[in-house]
Amino acid sequence: VNFVVSQLFALLTALWFRLYLHPSKTSPFIRHVVATLLGFYLALFCFGWYALHFLVQSGLSYSIMVFASLEHMHNAWSIQRQSTPAEGLVTGPEMLPRLAVSSDIHLGGFKPADGVASAPPHPLPTHPPADGDILSGVRRPSSPSWETPGSLLSAQLLMGPPHSCRYTRGPFVPLQKKPWPITRVYVFDYGMYSADFTGPMMKYHAVRRMPSLLEFLSYNCNFMSILAGPTCSYNDYTAFIEGTGYHPAHQEMANGKENGKCKLSEPSPKNDVIYKLCTCAVSLGVYLALCKVIPVERSIDPSFVTSAPFYQQVLYLYLAMLALRPKYYFVWTLADAINNAAGFGFNGYKKDGSPRWDRVSNLKIMDIEFATSFKMFLDSWNIQTALWLKRVCYERCPINPTAATFLLSAIWHGVYPGYYLTFLTGTAMTMAARALRHNLRPHFQTSDSRRQVYDVMTWAGTQVAISYTVVPFVLLAVGPSLKFYRSWYYCMHLLCLLLVLALPVKARHLQVKEQQQQQQQQQQQACLQKEECVLGDDLQSNHHATTDNNCNKKDT
């Protein structure tokens, strides 16, 4: 209840913030102060004194940024971040101590206590959990039990308060992700880490000026995202505060090029906010109506497993996961609406000239429900976190980046065995889906009817694969998870193994090389076309000039 009340208050405050504290009327300093104070107020309302963790965590990170040298800033900051093991690189010397400290905090911070209700983890395999796990409807097999102040503090750094808002660690998740790009990947551009700036997006996200303490606290603890995110880049947030996010130059840097028609007037987010609020209402209604009717735990009930035919078990599992997802649709869409209502989230214009407000959107519901590939499903779920994982791990890991990203996600979630079973299965699913698509898809692109058949087949396969993969994420414990997989005879695991071994797939470095060659060829063709156009224009202009001269001579 506290979460919903706080988010509704944040929505109304966001409207006031955009209208009465507009950048044209108010200085960035005032906007930073108001956004930060309102964020702390919401944190205090939900968590009481536990909200001090927001201040302590941000303060420690900022102190390291101030006092640590640029060469060692990311290492010192990584050691400090070991108290919240959601962060870190999967490569480099920081990994092993982070694993040890993370496990100590997870295991030493709480004891199992059956019967304590808390929110289920988010139901997807490769991304960190929702930035606000709320509306708990599933019981964990074990939940935190608080006994000593030390264990309480340790567990709170990881899990969040045990009873406020009825969710575990969601609000601390966006805070954990935010300072990291400033201090490790996109370090201050003094020329010392120029190798990190290899692409336009890296250069765009690079922080070239040391943030003030107020700016840093505002970025981490503003009222729009302190409870449910989503994650955003520091440069995008400062552009929103300063009122430069609507400028064409900013949009061109962010998107590569400006889409559609360019408008000088500031776009209104009213229609998008109304649409997203309606989506929230529908999602919440669907979740409350179905979450108790189709529990995931029934899929491992012995009477159901022995009596129901296999096709019915498959259908039930799909429906159970379908009933679980609207909870996250509600949380993330409401958070997106709050940011849009404040004027944050503008992402250029569509081809028809209408504004796009999806810069901080965290999901694409229709793409999720009708995904025809494993990758399409994952790319549409928890989008901002997926981009974060891509920037900090996938693009930077030289060896098997897919498995490394899955491992980082698993470590970030905690020590529940279900997390690791899910991510292990997810790695196999991703590799098998890639091999299957690479070898099978070309045979179905010869006609429209074949493409439709392929889409139906891949949609059904994707939904079953996702549902099968995330069951341990919901059940958490080893026993129930393996019990479910045994009831399915590990069929999906065996199928993935068979596909990976039987179907050839090009190595990643070869695929990257081919893509680079194709891009170079396309650029060369584009340059040739431009030269031909310029040459043609010059010839045409010369022809007109010659004709005009001849006409002038005749007239004289």
**Catalytic sites, residue numbers:** 382, 413
For 178, 241, 353, the CA distances from 33, given in Å and listed in that order, are: 18, 11, 34
Element (H, E) at 496: helix 491-502
3-state secondary structure of 271: helix
Q: How far is CA 225 from the centre of its chain?
A: 14
Phi then psi for residue 349, to 5 deg, are -125, 150
Measured distance CA(127)–CA(305) in Å, rounded: 30
Would you say 220 and 60 are in contact if contact means Cβ atoms under 8 Å apart? Answer: no
> String of b and e for 451-471 (b: at least 16 CB within 10 Å)?
eeebeeebbebbbbbbbbbbb
Question: Helices in 22-148 by DSSP H: which ranges?
Answer: 28-47, 52-67, 73-80, 95-108
Q: How many other C-beta atoms can be found within 10 angstroms of the C-beta atom of residue 37?
A: 15
Using left for φ > 0, alpha for ψ between -120 and 50, and beta otherwise, residue 377 falls in: alpha
For 130, 290, 435, 481, the CA distances from 440, given in Å and listed in that order, are: 34, 36, 8, 31
Q: Sign of the CA dihedral 417, 420, 426, 427?
A: negative
Of residues 222, 226, 206, the one with CA closest to residue 214 = 222
End-to-end CA gap in the chain: 91
